[in-house]
Amino acid sequence: MTGTANRDEDSAAILDAIEQWAEKELRPVARKYDQADEYPAEIVEQMKELGLFGATIGEEYGGLGLSASTYAQIVVKVSSIWMAPCGIFNSHLIMAAAIERAGTEEQKREWLPRMATGEFRGSLGLTEPNAGSDLQAIRTVARRDGDDYVINGGKTWITNSLHGHGTLLLVKTDPKAEPRHKGMSLVIAPKGPGFAVNKLKKMGYRAIDTCEIDLQDYRVPAANLLGGVEGKGFVQTAGGLELGRINVAARGTGIAEGALQLALRYAQERSAFGKPIWNHQAIQLKLADMVTQVEGAKLLIEQAARKYDAGERCDLEAAMAKLAGSEAGVFCAQEAMRIFGGYSYSVEYEIERFYRDSMLMCIGEGSNEILRQIIAKQLVERHRI
């Protein structure tokens, strides 16, 4: 009991520190960085000091070793103020989780301590122009050449890849394998010759580098093959997506909570027809639906996080959390826009940023259409008659 109590106290202290940092450092600069689409280098340095790049990395490798539950609460808080910075450490931590879960001991010792401090900031290189939800359709090929792999191909929509230091690449080590997933591998790929990056311009989720990666005769040591065995990449990727979906669920829920907070304040400040607009039934109905979606999504996130922390399979729970959290973000951002009325279209009001950022959560880490299929299939699988 003492150990559990200490962990709870440590988690509470970390959450309190993150909340104070987000209010003091993030809120005043979010609009500036977003409007300029400028990478927040100073914020990144502060996140390094807070230990966010090692949040879920084990203590034996220099990380904080936080539970998925505590991590999700951090993401909700940060996203309720400005969602984009979460992307800087989210894909980084998915890469770290894959190394910690599936890497060799040598790979863990080489990469995780540097990732925990933020000295090496990583990303996840899965998506290609012709392969998003259907990852088995990737065309990036890694050919063994002596002690190296020579990689040719390209990735797109890779967050944290311009200012980051490398990515965990999903490649085909055996393009002719059947079934296709048996020819797929993950490779730890630090930047080097043949690794070119081009930043994409986005409607929302600004200030964070999301890029195309072009790989032309890019060489990486064969020792960087995750786990040291070819053909395991698809399974290794699937495990990492559970943490990623819990993160996106938390980001969507944070957007929803932030939009609700803005709308709740505005509804008490703004008057129409002789009274604050929150007194009008139409506004009350919106606020009630918004808070209900926020709190419901939080419960689903907690359920998924607890199963993840227990080492249990949680693809169903993570998918439900991601679906609920991301849809709550879109719903609450839209309803808040309606509550703000004409002012919602002004960049002087932060709600327009929440609206622009929200839709990405329904697409990233598996589209919600795909997730609905996963949920239905897992539901039937668990309740076979």
Same domain? For 326 and 227 the reply is: no
Same domain? For 290 and 353 the reply is: yes
Same domain? For 173 and 308 the reply is: no
Give pLDDT tens digits for 295-337: 999 999 999 999 999 989 899 999 999 999 999 999 999 999 9
User: How far, in Å, CA of 142 to CA of 147, rounded?
Assistant: 13
Q: pTM for this one? A: 0.94
Q: Which two tokens stand for residue 330?
A: 């879109």
- pLDDT, residue 4, reads 59
pLDDT over 80 at 2, yes or no: no
Mean pLDDT value of segment 46-73:
96
| DSSP character at residue 212 | E
What are residue 159's phi and psi, to 5 degrees?
-70, 140
Residue finishing a domain among 117, 136, 153 = 117
Q: Is the peptide bond before 85 cis (omega within 30 degrees of 0)?
A: no
Residue finishing a domain among 67, 84, 117 = 117
Would you please indicate which residues are annotated as catalytic (active-site) residues? 365
Same domain? For 348 and 298 the reply is: yes
- Do residues 234 and 181 lie in contact, with contact meaning Cβ atoms separated by under 8 Å? yes
Same domain? For 265 and 188 the reply is: no
| DSSP character at residue 280 | S
| DSSP character at residue 103 | S
CATH of the domain at 315: 1.20.140.10
User: How far, in Å, CA of 49 to CA of 37, rounded?
Assistant: 23
Same domain? For 221 and 249 the reply is: no
**Helix axes of 281-309 and 315-340: crossing angle, nearest 10 degrees:** 160
- pLDDT, residue 9, reads 78
Instruction: Give 292's contacts (C-beta < 8 A, 6+ positions apart).
Output: none
Give the burial class of 65: count Cβ atoms within 10 A of its Cβ; 0-12 exposed, 13-18 middle, 19 or more buried.
Answer: middle
Give the burial class of 165: count Cβ atoms within 10 A of its Cβ; 0-12 exposed, 13-18 middle, 19 or more buried.
Answer: middle
For the ranges 9-13, 51-55, 141-145, 284-288, the lowest mean pLDDT is seen at 9-13
Residue finishing a domain among 87, 117, 147 = 117
Give pLDDT tens digits for 248-272: 999 999 999 999 999 999 999 999 9
CA of residue 234 relative to chain centroid, distance? 19
Same domain? For 278 and 325 the reply is: yes
User: How far, in Å, CA of 280 to CA of 287, rounded?
Assistant: 11
Q: Which residue has the tokens 């070119």?
A: 196
Structurally, the chain folds into a number of domains equal to: 3
- pLDDT, residue 5, reads 58
Tell me the chain's radius of gyration from C-alpha atoms.
21
Same domain? For 190 and 245 the reply is: no
Give pLDDT tens digits for 144-166: 999 999 999 999 999 999 999 99
Same domain? For 278 and 354 the reply is: yes
Same domain? For 220 and 277 the reply is: no
CATH of the domain at 82: 1.10.540.10
Q: Which residue segment(s) compose the domain that 267 sits in?
A: 235-382
